[in-house]
Structure formats: C-alpha cells, structure tokens
Amino acid sequence: MSFVPGQPVTAVVERIEIQKLSQGPNLVLGFCIGGGIDQDPGQNPFSDDKADKGIYVTRVSPGGPADVAGLKIGDKIMQVNGWDMTVVTHDQARKKLTKKNEHVVRLLVTRKTLEEAVKQSMSRPGPS
C-alpha cells in the first residue's frame, strides 16, 4: 500500500463478497471498522503509514458472515459495492456498508501479505 502524494493510489486488492445475516430487524456483517478522514490516523494500530486515513477492519466476529467470507482483521477496505472508501468519513463508510436494501456487499480489501505474495510470485521465475 504505497501512497505518493499527487499520484494515484495503487494497491493489490482481494475481492471479498459478504452475505449479510439478518438478526431480527437488522442486517449484520459481523465486523467492526475504524478510521476515516475525520478520525485521528495516529491511533490506528493496523496501518503502516500513520497518516493513512482509510477505513480498516478492527475486529471480525468469529463465525460471522465476514469471517466466513475471508475478511481478516487489519484489512484496509478500498471499495464497497463500487463506492470508494479511501477518502470518506467514518459515518459515510458505515452508511455504505449498512444499506438496508442490500443483502450482499462486495468489498475490495488490501493487506500487506497480499503485496508480499505478489512480489514473491513476481520475483520467482514464472512458468514460461
């Protein structure tokens, strides 16, 4: 996850599709988010760059829909159903995730291990 000011952000992302679970009147996804452009980025334990104001996954409830779909703690969410999550406030992010009439959310998430995996596969001599 490199961020050079003035350049477009590039990242290796994984696509995760979560089915919302209905608990009573609510639809839950089973994880917690933190971060946003209105929050203090220095408090974020998961980010490398302490100036990164993106949305991060802070907790995943075990056995919940997010866990089943493969979301890991510390992931940074880049997009939700096509909506950008890198420059949003905390509340906007929450709203995009908890829309009542959507039962599926498709996230693009990134984590450090993804980049490393891609680097390793690039440095290894590929199949010819």
d(Cα 91, Cα 15) in Å, to the nearest integer? 23
Residue 123: CB minimum distance to another protein, A: 35
For another protein, the binding residue among 17, 19, 68, 94 (CB under 8 A) is 94
97 binds another protein per the rule CB under 8 A = yes
Query: Residue 96 carries which side chain, given as an amino acid letter?
Result: K
Q: How far apart are CA 112 and CA 110, in angstroms?
A: 7
Among 11, 21, 52, 58, binds another protein (CB under 8 A): 58
- Torsion sign (Cα): 113, 58, 83, 27: positive
Point out which span in 3-11, 24-32, 110-118, 119-127 binds another protein (CB under 8 A). Answer: 24-32
Q: Which stretch binds another protein (CB under 8 A): 40-48, 68-76, 106-114, 115-123?
A: 40-48
Q: Which is nearer to another protein, 6 or 63 (CB)?
A: 63
Among 5, 6, 8, 42, binds another protein (CB under 8 A): 42
58 to each of 7, 67, 77, how far by Cα in Å? 27, 13, 11
Of the residues 2, 19, 32, 81, which one makes contact with another protein according to CB under 8 A: 32
**Residue 86 within binding range of another protein, rule CB under 8 A:** no
70: DSSP letter: T
Q: Is 73 helix (H, G, I), strand (E, B) or coil?
A: coil
Reported as type and span, the H/E element at residue 81 is none
